[in-house]
Chains A and B, each alone.
Chain A
Amino acid sequence: MGTNSNTLVKLKNAGYQQNDKWLVKGVSLEVEKGKIVTLIGPNGSGKSTTAKIALGIYKKFDGEVEKYTNKIGYVPQKVSIDWTLPLRVRDFMVLTESLKEEAIDEALSLTGVVHLKHKNLGNLSGGEFQRVLLARAISKKPELLVLDEPVQGVDFTGEIALYELIKKISEELNCGILLISHDLHTVMSATDHVVCLNGHVCCSGSPSDVAKNNEYKALFGEQAAQTLSIYEHKHDHVHSHEGEIKKN
């Protein structure tokens, strides 16, 4: 893996241990401008940990991290807002960067929650809050987006729309995306590179490569592998007819 000028973040043999137990070990991956890298794997396989190493949240890690950008948008897996803090959606949007009113509205409109702008953050539903989190991360027009289960709790149609939005953002802003998801079916539409984790990198490559991998099949079962290959098939089909990537 040679570093080129498009590289935003690069992990070399990265690992992290807590209380003498390795949460994840030996991860190498690279996120480039305009590319989407997806981390998949079962619960506790080290997906979030890998993202936190890449983001610099964990400081005592193993291996090497090279980061070439400071413009980062992050959607953490878990955010709990304390009720002692009176916080409206609008206040949350400008948490890490000052934004113009139009930029706030634009980002909130993209994720479909502009009507919640003056609502208290504690009164949102899980899905609404998730959309606000995503809006906040994209509003600052980052070079690198790290999305940890960005559509959890979002209804099914919303989920598809948000994944399309994520794909669109990566094209429009030419930003790199590190995406974490356990939802294989919907995720694969946009992904350029898949890294399958299970405490270590069990396999990686293009979605179709990973689907054929035996370790992947062992981890997720035959059905998941079929899901992926079926998807790939459909994807080719639509692609060849309409000339653009569109999910069925």
Chain B
Amino acid sequence: MFDDFFIRALVAGIGVAFVTGPLGCFVVWRRLSYFGDTLAHSALLGVTMAYSFEFNIAISVFIISSVIALILIQLQRKTNLPGDALLGLLAHSSLAVGLVVIGFLTFIRFDIMGLLFGDILAVTVNDLIIIWAGGALILLVLKLIWKPLFASTVNYELAEAEGLNPDRAKAIFTILMAAIIAISIKMVGLLLITGMLIIPAAMARNISDNPQKMVLFSIIGGLLSVIIGLFSSLEFNTASGPSIITASLVLFILSLLKIKQSIQLKN
């Protein structure tokens, strides 16, 4: 059944959507989209490391993204630069260094487009195992830290005062972000991963009145985006990442109609 590349891509994408749904909600709530971008850009460096040392791509990306996250936290503590400047610094320099390293790796043929925008042809059975096992682990950890993470997202001081240890939850969440980027890079591509996190969650925000609903709709939105996006990718021979993100954009636009309705109801 997994012999067909398209089935593999579909199963991989569905696995990714289950994880980006809830994680994406936190990215939107905690205003972390630039942070997600930075980790995703640094993933290129992770990929080049993987090729250089013939290492697993997902694990290599996970390690590099985690290191970049740690560096960011250190820079935030030790410099007076604003957060977005530091994020931009790390995002673009890690992307640049990654591209320079690729230039040196002349002995390997690289599909840079596939790396940046996703390549459904590249998904192997091994990747499926990493996506589903890794994804299940990410969701399990997220469930464990849900209460402190959510409480501190609403109000940090309340969570801290009432003994929920929000700093630990935040640190663990950062690792989860690195992990989701690592497992979804082949599907969506590193330039578009943040879109996969944010757009379904943003769509869900438009049609939800409570956090649980938003998470649920975010997952459904992600699933629909993957399925519609992959089928159109096959049909029109377009890159998988942009196709998925375009599908999610269409869903987002449709969700705006619902907002318009509720505003009209209020008036």
Chain A residues in the interface with B (C-beta under 8 A): 52, 55-57, 70, 72-74, 76, 79, 81-82, 84-88, 90-92, 95-97, 120, 146
Contact = CB atoms under 8 A, between A and B. Distances in A.
Given A72-B163, A74-B162, A87-B211, A79 B28 contact: no
B29 interface: yes
Interface stretch (B45-53, B119-127, B150-158): B150-158
B264 interface: no
Contacts of B213: 86
Given A72-B162, A73-B162, A96-B151, A57 B157 contact: yes
Interface in B181-213: 205, 208-213
A135 to B, nearest CB: 14
Closest 4 CB pairs of A and B: A55-B161, A74-B161, A96-B162, A95-B151
A76 B157 contact: yes
B205 A84 contact: yes
A57 B160 contact: yes
Nearest to B201: A84
B158 A146 contact: no
Given A86-B209, A92-B154, A95-B154, 14 more contacts: A52-B157, A56-B160, A72-B162, A74-B158, A74-B161, A74-B162, A81-B155, A85-B154, A85-B211, A86-B214, A87-B154, A95-B150, A95-B158, A96-B159
B205 A79 contact: no
Nearest to A85: B29
Nearest to B160: A57
A73 B157 CA distance: 12
Contact of B161 (A56, A90, A120): A56
Interface in B131-179: 147, 150-151, 153-155, 157-164
B154 A76 contact: no
A95 B212 CA distance: 13
Interface residues of B, number: 25
Contact of A120 (B29, B159, B209): B209
Contacts of B151: 95-96
Interface in B204-243: 205, 208-214
Question: How would you classify the secondary structure of chain A's contact residues: helix, strand, loop or mixed?
Answer: loop
Contacts, number: 68
B60 to A, nearest CB: 33
A70 B163 contact: yes
B150 to A, nearest CB: 7
A79 B147 CA distance: 18
A93 to B, nearest CB: 12
B162 A86 contact: no
A82 B211 contact: no
A94 B208 CA distance: 18
A96 B158 contact: yes
Contacts of A56: 160-161
A90 B31 CA distance: 24
A95 B153 CA distance: 10
Interface in B68-103: none
A95 B160 CA distance: 12
A76 B162 CA distance: 11
Nearest to A67: B163
A146 B162 CA distance: 10
12 contacts: A52-B157, A55-B157, A56-B160, A74-B157, A76-B157, A85-B211, A86-B214, A87-B211, A88-B210, A92-B154, A95-B150, A95-B159
Contacts of B158: 74, 76, 79, 95-96
A137 to B, nearest CB: 9
Contacts of A95: 150-151, 154-155, 158-159
A150 to B, nearest CB: 14
Contacts of A120: 209
B86 to A, nearest CB: 20
Contacts of A86: 205, 208-211, 213-214
Contacts of A90: 210
A76 B205 CA distance: 27
A96 B211 CA distance: 15
A15 B1 CA distance: 67
Contacts of B161: 52, 55-57, 72, 74, 76, 146
Contacts of B150: 95
A66 to B, nearest CB: 15
A86 B202 CA distance: 11
A75 to B, nearest CB: 9
